[in-house]
Amino acid sequence: MLFIRKIYKITVIFGIVFFLGINTSFAIDDGFGAAKKIEGRYFTIYYEPQIEITQLLQQLNIGPADKLLAGKPLDESFSSEAGLAEMLDVLFLEVGEVLDMHLYSFHGTIKICKDTFELNDIYNYLFKKDATTRSFYVYDLNTIYTCANNFTRGIIGHEIAHAIMSNYFVVQPSVRVQEVLAMYVEYQLKKFEEGN
Ligand SMILES: [Zn+2]
């Protein structure tokens, strides 16, 4: 009886490990580690467990004026994880407004590393070359990579602009043109933030 129980336990544990193994094999194919997950309308967000969500919310600094610009109702305030997903949805709509490019069925991923070392490691892992980057967008994975300290509206807005342009154009504009437009979005978002 005990023996059977043991086998049962081992099977259950093996089953769980196997199940987790399947999950993590999807999660780490870019070198990104264990993460918490939040589902928003336009983004699935993964962030390292040690990151403070309140820090992300403060840095993103999306307020009522942004909601108005994005055409969203002012009914709820932002807090916690759901608030982060909501803020990013508002930022997505705002960037779409600035670019005058509207995507209705877009869904991408944002992965937030704990620091620039981890971020640069992922860059190195994906592209097999070294880089010092504050954030980047990978078209093939439809994923924005950034880290906690660089999680600001300007930087995330810049990367969302890349995501929108990559999904909006059938024939992609040159990398240089896309960079100029993304920088324009970043500038507009910062200007708007200062005027808030
Ligand atoms: Zn860029």
How close is the Cα of 57 to the center of ligand 1, in Å? 22
For residue 124, what are its two tokens? 């190195």
How close is the Cα of 16 to the center of ligand 1, in Å? 41
Residues 42-97 have pLDDT tens digits of 999 999 999 999 899 989 988 877 877 777 766 666 668 888 999 999 999 999 99
How close is the Cα of 54 to the center of ligand 1, in Å? 26
* pLDDT exceeds 70 at position 166: yes
User: Shortest CA distance to 30 belongs to which of 158, 107, 136, 105?
Assistant: 136
How close is the Cα of 126 to the center of ligand 1, in Å? 17
Give the whole-angstrom CA distance, residue 185 versus residue 156: 10
Question: What confidence score (pLDDT) does residue 11 get?
Answer: 47
Query: Mean per-residue pLDDT for 26-47?
Result: 83
How close is the Cα of 142 to the center of ligand 1, in Å? 14
How close is the Cα of 137 to the center of ligand 1, in Å? 8
Helix residue spans in the chain (DSSP H): 2-27, 53-60, 64-69, 80-99, 116-127, 153-168, 175-195
Question: What confidence score (pLDDT) does residue 16 get?
Answer: 45
- Distant-in-sequence, close-in-space partners of 115: CB < 8 Å, separation ≥ 6: 147, 148, 149
How close is the Cα of 175 to the center of ligand 1, in Å? 9
- Contact (CB, 8 A) for 50 and 142: no
How close is the Cα of 76 to the center of ligand 1, in Å? 32
pTM of the model: 0.80
Give the whole-angstrom CA distance, residue 133 versus residue 145: 10
How close is the Cα of 163 to the center of ligand 1, in Å? 10
Give the whole-angstrom CA distance, residue 177 versus residue 196: 29
* Main-chain phi, psi angles of 105, to 5 degrees: -115, 25
Residues 114-160 have pLDDT tens digits of 999 999 999 999 998 888 889 999 999 999 999 999 999 999 999 99
* pLDDT exceeds 80 at position 104: yes
pLDDT range class, residue 194, cuts 50, 70, 90:
low
Instruction: Classify residue 166 as exposed, middle or buried by CB count within 10 Å of its CB (0-12, 13-18, 19+).
Output: middle
Give the whole-angstrom CA distance, residue 63 versus residue 56: 14
How close is the Cα of 127 to the center of ligand 1, in Å? 16
Give the whole-angstrom CA distance, residue 99 versus residue 90: 14
How close is the Cα of 160 to the center of ligand 1, in Å? 9
Q: How far is CA 170 from CA 48, 173, 174, in A?
A: 34, 9, 12
